[in-house]
Amino acid sequence: MKVTSELTETQFHQYVDDILLQIEEKLESLEEDLDLDYENSGGKLDIEFADGSKIIINKQEPLLQLWVATKFNGHHFNYVDGKWIDERFGDEFWHFIEQAASKQAGQLINFK
């Protein structure tokens, strides 16, 4: 997989901040329907589900990667051709995060 090398640190921070904000806005709208809690602190978003499990999304600035830890596994996403792609499995970030959050919440969550 070819990682886009033209991504600057400024772009990296902006892209990841945009993702975290979009997820937060969606979680805020779902908060009453789902028993969950979330906190964004310094480029790290923690989402805690009713069963106590978490998804943690954070910036890995030195590598210009977006890291996601779920109760099942950890994933590292690289910015490739305008999308964040899992370096091991090739899954696109939005597809992955919707599946992971839905699985941990026990119901469908759509972030887009």
pLDDT for 5 equals 54
Instruction: Please enumerate, as own/partner, the contacts of 105-112 that have beta carbons within 8 Å and a separation of 24 or more.
Output: 105/34, 105/36, 105/49, 105/50, 106/50, 106/51, 107/34, 109/26, 109/30, 109/34, 110/26, 111/22, 111/23, 111/26
User: Which CATH number fits the domain that encloses residue 86?
Assistant: 3.30.920.10
pLDDT of residue 41: 92
Give the total number of structural domains in the chain: 1
Under 8 Å between Cβ of 36 and 30: yes
Which range of residues forms the domain containing residue 36?
9-105
Q: Identify whether 17 is part of a domain.
A: yes
Q: Is 54 inside a domain boundary?
A: yes
The answer to whether residue 43 sits within a structural domain is: yes
Tens-binned pLDDT, residue by residue, of the chain (112 aa): 445 457 899 999 999 999 999 999 999 888 777 888 999 998 999 999 999 999 999 999 999 999 999 999 999 999 999 999 999 999 999 999 999 999 999 999 988 7
Q: Whole-model pTM?
A: 0.90
Closest CA relative to residue 60, chosen from 70, 74, 73: 74
